Structure 1
Amino acid sequence: MTRSVLFDPEHLADERRALYDELRSGPRADPDRPGGPVDSRGRLTGPFNAMLHSPRVGGPLQRLGAALRYESSIDDRVREMAILLVAGRHDCAVERITHQRIARDIGISEETIGTLERGEVPASFDDGTHVTAAAALELAERMLDREPPDDAGFERLQKVLGPDGVFEVSSLVGYYWTLAHQLNLFAVEPIEDRSEA
């Protein structure tokens, strides 16, 4: 059963057209960034097509995602590791494939990617982000396990990540958790070809 057809950009009107145009002109459309929001026929891919079902919710949701990916203070490598942990825990192929590409492009090791794909936190990191990555992934893991840190643990995480970092990592996990569930719900298939991701 097809749960969500790809919207044809030639037949979009009103709020859907506005959201489509916003996604096409925003940071995700930057040719210097890996991936992109459309396929070779100009249709939105991944979670973005589903957002057109409800532009009033999809618009703010995609803007949150853009802020987390392109404006956050989280190191790019730490961000991608946290996303891959969420994807691994939720068995979300679209998130996993898309963000594995990005992770490789920014120098995350295959060993680390493989560990995160299994939904596990690596014991160490070989890319110079150990302290920050360990704290961010501890927080992500606790959120995914629904076991928030106690006061002492929260204070320790804040010392490493700062209050803004704790807020941004927790928002990142919540956002990609939401996308993973939506992608799985709508049975969105990954696009293997980089030019169409």
Structure 2
Amino acid sequence: MNGQDPAAGTARLRPLPPVGLAPVQRALYESLAAREVPWAERAGARAIDRDGSLLGPFNPLLFSPVIGAALVEVFRADGRATSLPPRVHEIVVLTVGAAWRAGYEIYAHTPIAEAAGLSDTVIEAIVSGGRPDFESAEEAGAYDFTLQLVTRQQVDDVTYARAAVEFGDEGLVDMVLLIGLYLSVCAIINAFDIGVPVGPAESFSVR
């Protein structure tokens, strides 16, 4: 299987190592390998395999490289311009991942959430589907808003009003856009049956 650990890859899409990619695919591959892969692996998540193929939600994007590249740019915009604090950002991401039972998303963002300052107790509660005891009304508001939108497809007036007090209009829009981004990630992970990698990050140089 081209050196790929089956548990690490996509069961429904073949891995696309860099050799043989079309130019538009190669451009996206090199962009991801230069930015998203190091970001994920610094956090402790495997994002590239021994043969150079990408892991997690990255490999599927190469099958639709124009739209995939546009989606990546929205993620990058969120990273540099969101008004949400890092802890809130990761509460939202983990809440979406837990609701969708998207293993790779939870695997990749748990260490990022830890680095942002969330406790193991809070992270474990979110991932298990329980409501944590949050340290602030801001964090509780983000969790309740996200959970309702993801699981009920709407947000009740009381929950919306509480979140609006904490985040204002800009923050609420940023939160909804973030939820949408990670719903896309979780849809990719679940639709293509992407597993959680086994073992440490691999070393691979793009050639």
Q: TM-score, normalised by structure 1?
A: 0.85
Q: Percent identity?
A: 27
User: For 1:16, which of 22, 25, 29 is the aligned residue?
Assistant: 25
Aligned positions of 1:98-177 closer than 5 A: 98-125=108-135, 130-151=136-157, 153-177=159-183
Aligned positions of 1:30-69 closer than 5 A: 30=39, 33-34=42-43, 35=45, 37-69=47-79
CA distance in structure 2 between the aligned counterparts of 1:152 and 1:31, rounded to whole angstroms: 36
Q: Structure 2: which 5+ runs fail to align?
A: 1-9, 203-207
Counterparts in 2 of 1:191 and 1:69: CA distance versus 1, 3 Å: farther
Aligned residues: 193
Counterparts in 2 of 1:36 and 1:65: CA distance versus 1, 3 Å: farther
Q: Once the 2 structures are TM-superposed, how far is the Cα of residue 39 of structure 1 from its aligned partner?
A: 3.0
Contact 1:20 1:52 in 2 (8 A): yes
Q: TM-score, normalised by structure 2?
A: 0.82
Which has the higher relative contact order, 1 or 2, with Cα contacts under 8 A spaced 6 or more apart? Answer: 2
Q: Once the 2 structures are TM-superposed, how far is the Cα of residue 51 of structure 1 from its aligned partner?
A: 0.5
Q: Once the 2 structures are TM-superposed, how far is the Cα of residue 172 of structure 1 from its aligned partner?
A: 1.2
Q: Where does residue 72 of structure 1 map in the other structure? A: 82
Contact 1:89 1:118 in 2 (8 A): no
Counterparts in 2 of 1:32 and 1:10: CA distance versus 1, 3 Å: closer
Counterparts in 2 of 1:40 and 1:80: CA distance versus 1, 3 Å: farther
Deviations 1:83-138 (A, max 9, x none): 1111111111101111112222333211111111112331323xxxx222111112
Contact 1:29 1:36 in 2 (8 A): no
CA distance in structure 2 between the aligned counterparts of 1:56 and 1:121, rounded to whole angstroms: 39
CA distance in structure 2 between the aligned counterparts of 1:146 and 1:31, rounded to whole angstroms: 30
Q: Once the 2 structures are TM-superposed, how far is the Cα of residue 16 of structure 1 from its aligned partner?
A: 0.6
Where in structure 1 do 4 or more consecutive aligned residues deviate above 6 Å?
Answer: none
Task: Output the aligned Cα RMSD.
Answer: 2.5
CA distance in structure 1 between the aligned counterparts of 2:169 and 2:31, rounded to whole angstroms: 31
Give, as a single letter, the amino acid of the residue that structure 1 aligns with 2:186.
A
Q: Structure 1: which 5+ runs fail to align?
A: none
Q: Where does residue 94 of structure 1 map in the other structure? A: 104
Deviations 1:154-182 (A, max 9, x none): 34322211211101111111111121121
Q: Once the 2 structures are TM-superposed, how far is the Cα of residue 140 of structure 1 from its aligned partner?
A: 0.3
Q: Secondary structure of 1:195's partner?
A: coil
